[in-house]
Amino acid sequence: MVQLTDIAADKVRAFMQGQTAQVEVGLRVGVRGGGCSGFQYALALDEKRVDDHVFDNSGISVLVDPASLQYVDGSTVDYTENFMGSGFEVSNPNTVASCGCGSSFRVADEEPSCGTTV
């Protein structure tokens, strides 16, 4: 399961209201290879695909493909604002390492990349 905080749900809802989509969209939460720790989060408004897992959070559909679910299951997506900027952050209980900028992560059974050690 992937959850949204109330403020994250409000921000996603505001983004969705600005879209003129002909079909229903949700927030896609996924991972892709890259970054200094091995994986990066990928968040985007998207249409539901046949094999997606769908989690309802405050009326927002959170869409996760089967390959990404193993890496983000149990995560919470939040939206933060501070003097450094604003944006979505993922709190993921599956990570064992992340890079200094917080945009990439590694899970327990994956080999570190870029010389990262734990």
Summarised one tens digit per residue, pLDDT across range 80-101 is 988 878 889 888 888 766 665 5
Return the structure tokens found at 85: 């900027």
- Distances, alpha carbon 42 to alpha carbons 22, 74, 83, 117, in Å: 23, 16, 23, 24
Partners of 85 in the β-ladder: 82
* CATH class held by domain 3-107: mainly beta
CA 33 from chain centre, in angstroms, equals 13
Residue 71 has pLDDT above 80, yes or no: yes
Which residues face 61 on adjacent strands?
56
Q: Residue range 104-109: average pLDDT? A: 58
> Is the pLDDT reported for residue 78 higher than 60?
yes
| Residue 113 near residue 105 (C-beta atoms within 8 A) | no
Sketch the domain layout of the chain as residue ranges.
3-107
Residue 57 has pLDDT above 80, yes or no: yes
Query: What Cα–Cα distance (Å) separates residue 75 from each residue in 20, 23, 35, 108?
Result: 29, 26, 19, 15
